[in-house]
Amino acid sequence: MNERILVVDDDASLRSFLATVLREEGYIVREARDAEDCLKKLEEMDAHLVFSDLRMPGMDGLGLLTQVRKFWPSTQVVLMTAYGEVETAVQAMKRGAADYLTKPFNSPGEIRMLASRVLQRTRVEEDLALLKDEVNAGIPPLDTIFMGQEMQKCLELLRSVAPTPASVLITGESGTGKELVARVLHQLSPRRERAMVAVHCAALSESLLESELFGHEKGAFTGAIHARKGRFELADGGTLFLDEIGEISQSLQVKLLRVLQERTFERVGGTSSIQVDTRVVAATNRDLNKEVAEGRFRNDLFFRLNVFPIRLPPLRERKETILPLTDYFLEKYRAAFGKPRIEVTRDAESALLAYPWPGNIRELENIIERSVIIARGQITGDMIPTRAGGFPTSPEAEPVHLQEEGRLKQKEKEVILHALRESGNNRTQAARLLGISRRTLQYRLKEYGITGPEKGE
């Protein structure tokens, strides 16, 4: 248990009693004598929960609540109050307090139950926030994902390893659905009630990736104005998915190996060891055996990750999945764009089955999305490429629907560039302005060849 709690009260004996009860439950507890002391300690420890007296010299509990909600919105506040002040405490809950506790306390059990309830609520909210993009994006039905003999073998492997804490390495070409399969693994495991947190290792620089994985303390680097939890902490009790693991640097490989071996790490700029119970599922489109042989990937880390390997076949090796996935993506984007019923013609189905799909499921989804945008009641064969990069490139030679697609893409590119300018090239903020996930923005930037430094991440 790594939850951190701050106890704030000018009564030293009461403060010490409350802290002792919470420490006996396994929480990390620090004490503060007043609101100002609490705010200083919050900058140091990034607490999950604050127990604060309502009446204190100087800034009172309501003032402290306002400051905490403003600068540490994920930190919950429980106010402690005398019986005669319950009405004030109820008003405080309307202003963002998680709950209140009346003094004198009925029993230590009352304190323990309240802390457990509030922190459990916080964990659920964190999980929902982390999974928001994926829930909105939707996932194809399992019988579609695992259609065919090869994918049925994968499903059986997932069912075998899911109940265990073993690390899993998912390999396969880009776009084969490695993250989607990792999510299925998480849902099949006993960890399903906690978060699955995804990190796309190739999308971040080495320094940003280290901070993303392990978190950082206040002042660890320019711009680190508050301490921040990393993905290992957010996935405590759940699953951490490391996509494109073959892209991480040698120095980060060493730090990742330590976490896998010892289940402990320090935040960037920190000295305190943090212990986690996080299952690691990694994925790569690289041949890690070759990377190890050529000295680019640590042999010991490879063995730690490769406890249970699962290979996903490319889409061209599971053609029986192509048309069911087409139907799924067609309905998904038809509904998203408010389009009426759209049919896939026979010649389009033939083209879909004949195409080699170098980009696999991701490419199929992109093509169906674009086809839905330009379709006039039907998706026809000339909307489907016949070879990799097979769309006509000369404007004069393009069919009308492809010319329209080109205009749509140009407009999308302009909107993305505008969002980047508005956010000062902060891609996280740009994605928020566009109403899409950061990962989707990364794909669009790559597709349109938009480059440039990332700022303010």
What would the pLDDT profile of 426-436 be if each residue is shown by its tens digit? Answer: 887 777 666 67
pLDDT score of 395? 37
**Cα distance between residue 380 and residue 162, in whole Å:** 41
**Quick check: do 315-389 and 392-457 share a fold?**
no
pLDDT above 80 (res 225): no
181 or 205, which is more confident: 181
pLDDT above 70 (res 262): yes
Can you tell me the mean pLDDT for 376-389?
A: 81
pLDDT score of 340? 87
Summarised one tens digit per residue, pLDDT across range 281-335 is 999 999 999 999 999 999 999 999 999 999 999 999 999 999 999 999 999 889 8
The tokens of 108 are what?
Answer: 């230590």
Residue 457 pLDDT level (bands cut at 50, 70, 90) = very low
Question: Percent of the chain, pLDDT > 90?
Answer: 47
pLDDT score of 278? 94
- Assess contact for 119 and 49: CB atoms under 8 A: yes
Residues 6+ apart with CB under 8 A from 277: 236, 237, 263
Can you tell me the mean pLDDT for 66-80?
A: 88
pLDDT score of 410? 67
Summarised one tens digit per residue, pLDDT across range 102-122 is 888 878 888 998 998 888 777
CATH of domain 392-457: 1.10.10.60
Question: Percent of the chain, pLDDT > 70?
Answer: 86
pLDDT above 80 (res 234): yes
209 or 424, which is more confident: 209
- DSSP lists the bridge partners of residue 200 as 243
The tokens of 363 are what?
Answer: 């490419």
CA 218 to chain centre: 22
pLDDT score of 71? 83
Nearest to 389 by CA among 354, 368, 359: 359
- Which range among 41-45, 183-187, 239-243 shows the weakest confidence by mean pLDDT? 41-45
Q: Residues, the chain, total?
A: 457
pLDDT above 60 (res 455): no
Can you tell me the mean pLDDT for 153-160?
A: 93
369 or 451, which is more confident: 369
pLDDT score of 72? 84
Q: Where are the domains of the chain?
A: 4-123, 138-313, 315-389, 392-457
Summarised one tens digit per residue, pLDDT across range 161-174 is 999 999 999 999 99
CATH of domain 138-313: 3.40.50.300
What average pLDDT does the chain have?
84
pLDDT above 50 (res 397): no
pLDDT above 60 (res 213): yes
Residue 132 pLDDT level (bands cut at 50, 70, 90) = very low
Summarised one tens digit per residue, pLDDT across range 322-375 is 999 999 999 988 988 888 889 999 999 999 999 999 999 989 999 999 999 888
pLDDT score of 399? 45
pLDDT score of 257? 95
pLDDT score of 323? 93
Nearest to 368 by CA among 391, 344, 350, 346: 344
pLDDT score of 163? 94
Class of domain 315-389: mainly alpha
pLDDT score of 314? 95
Summarised one tens digit per residue, pLDDT across range 176-197 is 999 989 999 998 999 988 888 9
Determine how many CB atoms are found less than 10 A away from the CB of residue 279: 23
Residue 124 pLDDT level (bands cut at 50, 70, 90) = low
pLDDT above 60 (res 394): no
pLDDT score of 452? 66
pLDDT above 70 (res 61): yes
Does domain 4-123 fall into CATH 3.40.50.2300?
A: yes
pLDDT score of 153? 92
pLDDT score of 131? 45
pLDDT score of 191? 92
The tokens of 144 are what?
Answer: 């579609």
pLDDT above 50 (res 82): yes
